[in-house]
């Protein structure tokens, strides 16, 4: 018989007055492959913060933000950029903001840079004894077919440093590799090949030191691809995705994985449950989507945190503990 677990505890808002945040840049868009998803997320966050009276303004991309900050037009940044190379999840933005002393939401330089790189994240997890599917690192020009034979089909092939299911290939038979090889020929970065996990798919939102209720993802099609994530209306999201000890286990694993990668603030950890080997860690997202299809808002809603409150709480994470006291004294 499974043991029931209590709902996660998320602290009540520490700041009561929107003016305490000052002028907030909602950083969205950018130049990564995930630009359109980021714009959608950013519009939702902007509307939520403004509805709570926050002096929030949209800023499209890192270059525009740095120009605005040099003119001292903003006091802090709500980062909802997605991806790397012009997205705000690879540590570059975080390093720039820390260098000029501007507070921001989400993970710092290390957590952002490490978790953006799926291969290095899995290497850290493996060193910590955390479960993750067997994988191979593919440099430009490496023999993809040899790697697939060594791992054993079926496998997934994906860019190590992209998100939102960009450039992901599901390889069931060796003939399926042709499309992935064509993509690899024109892609300069490293690719991750990992053994396919056969079983249920889950995601766990992280807020501070709390793992939110898990979500089990049930796509109408064979797998959870870009269409199922952002377009389809027939994908099912079951929250909480598990019960009792299983739910406690997946939340604990997600929180351990998040911390091991040096992440902080808020984020999301994707997990699969293999029918034979149990839970397997897949990847971390340090600036999860905030669209109508996004999962962290769904999990927060399960414990009574509406979208506007969630955005407020995330914005609060731009303060360190001492910083909150200083703001309250203004």
CA distance 266 to 277: 28
> For this structure, is 230 an active site residue?
yes
Candidates 289, 294, 316, 318; catalytic one:
289
Question: Does residue 170 contact residue 223 with C-beta atoms inside 8 Å?
Answer: yes
Q: Is 160 a catalytic residue?
A: no
Task: To the nearest 10°, report the CA torsion of 290, 100, 86, 113.
Answer: -80
Active site residue 60: no
> Which one of the listed residues 115, 160, 285, 318 is annotated catalytic?
285
Residue 28 φ then ψ, to 5°: -140, 175
For the question of residue 52 being annotated catalytic, the response is no
Neighbours of 264 (CB within 10 A): 19
The one catalytic residue in 162, 247, 270, 316 is: 270
Phi-psi region of 91 (alpha: psi -120 to 50; beta: other; left: phi over 0): left
Is 285 an annotated catalytic residue? yes
Residue 289 appears among annotated catalytic residues: yes
CB 240 within 8 A of CB 249: no
DSSP helix/strand/coil, 242 = coil
Is 34 among the catalytic positions? yes
Exactly one of 115, 230, 246, 247 is catalytic; which is it?
Answer: 230
Annotated catalytic residue: which of 283, 294, 316, 318?
283
Residue 79 among the catalytic residues: no
Whose CA is closest to 133, among 260, 268, 285, 283? 283
Listed in sequence order, the residues at least 6 apart from 215 whose beta carbon sits closer than 8 Å to its beta carbon are 202, 203, 204, 205, 237, 238, 239, 240, 241, 295, 298, 299
Determine which one of 214, 268, 273, 318 is catalytic: 268
267: three-class secondary structure by DSSP: strand
Q: 284-320 burial, b for 16+ CB within 10 Å, e for fewer? A: bbbbbbbbebbbbbbbbbbeebebbbbbbbbbbbbbe
Greatest extent of the chain over all pairs of C-alpha atoms, in Å: 65
The 3-state DSSP class for residue 307 equals helix
Give the residue numbers marked as catalytic.
Answer: 34, 164, 230, 268, 270, 283, 285, 289
């Amino acid at each position: 018989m499974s043991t029931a677990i209590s709902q996660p505890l998320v602290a009540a808002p520490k700041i009561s007055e929107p003016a305490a945040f000052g002028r907030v840049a909602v950083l969205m868009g950018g130049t990564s492959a995930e630009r359109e998803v980021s714009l959608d997320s950013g519009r939702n966050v902007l509307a939520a913060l403004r509805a709570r009276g926050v002096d929030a303004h949209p800023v499209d991309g890192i270059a525009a933000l740095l120009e605005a900050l040099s003119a001292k037009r903003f006091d802090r940044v709500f980062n909802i950029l997605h991806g790397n190379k012009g997205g705000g999840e690879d540590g570059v933005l975080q390093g720039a903001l820390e260098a000029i002393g501007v507070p921001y939401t989400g993970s710092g330089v290390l957590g952002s840079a490490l978790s953006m790189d799926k291969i290095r994240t899995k290497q850290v997890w493996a060193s910590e004894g955390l479960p993750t599917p067997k994988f191979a690192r593919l440099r430009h020009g490496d023999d993809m077919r040899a790697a697939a034979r060594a791992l054993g089909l079926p496998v997934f092939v994906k860019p190590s440093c992209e998100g939102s299911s960009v450039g992901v290939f599901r390889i069931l038979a060796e003939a399926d590799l042709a499309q992935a090889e064509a993509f690899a020929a024109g892609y300069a970065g490293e690719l991750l090949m990992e053994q396919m996990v056969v079983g249920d798919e889950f995601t766990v939102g992280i807020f501070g030191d709390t793992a939110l209720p898990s979500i089990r993802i049930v796509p109408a099609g064979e797998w959870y691809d870009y269409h199922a994530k952002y377009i389809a209306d027939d994908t099912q999201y079951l929250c909480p995705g598990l019960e009792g000890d299983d739910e406690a286990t997946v939340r604990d694993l997600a929180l351990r994985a998040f911390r091991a990668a040096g992440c902080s603030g808020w984020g999301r950890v994707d997990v699969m449950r293999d029918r034979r080997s149990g839970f397997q860690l897949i990847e971390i997202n340090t600036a999860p989507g905030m669209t109508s299809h996004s999962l962290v808002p769904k999990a927060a809603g399960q414990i009574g945190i509406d979208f506007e409150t969630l955005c407020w709480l995330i914005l609060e994470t731009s303060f360190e503990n001492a910083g909150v006291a200083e703001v309250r004294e203004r």
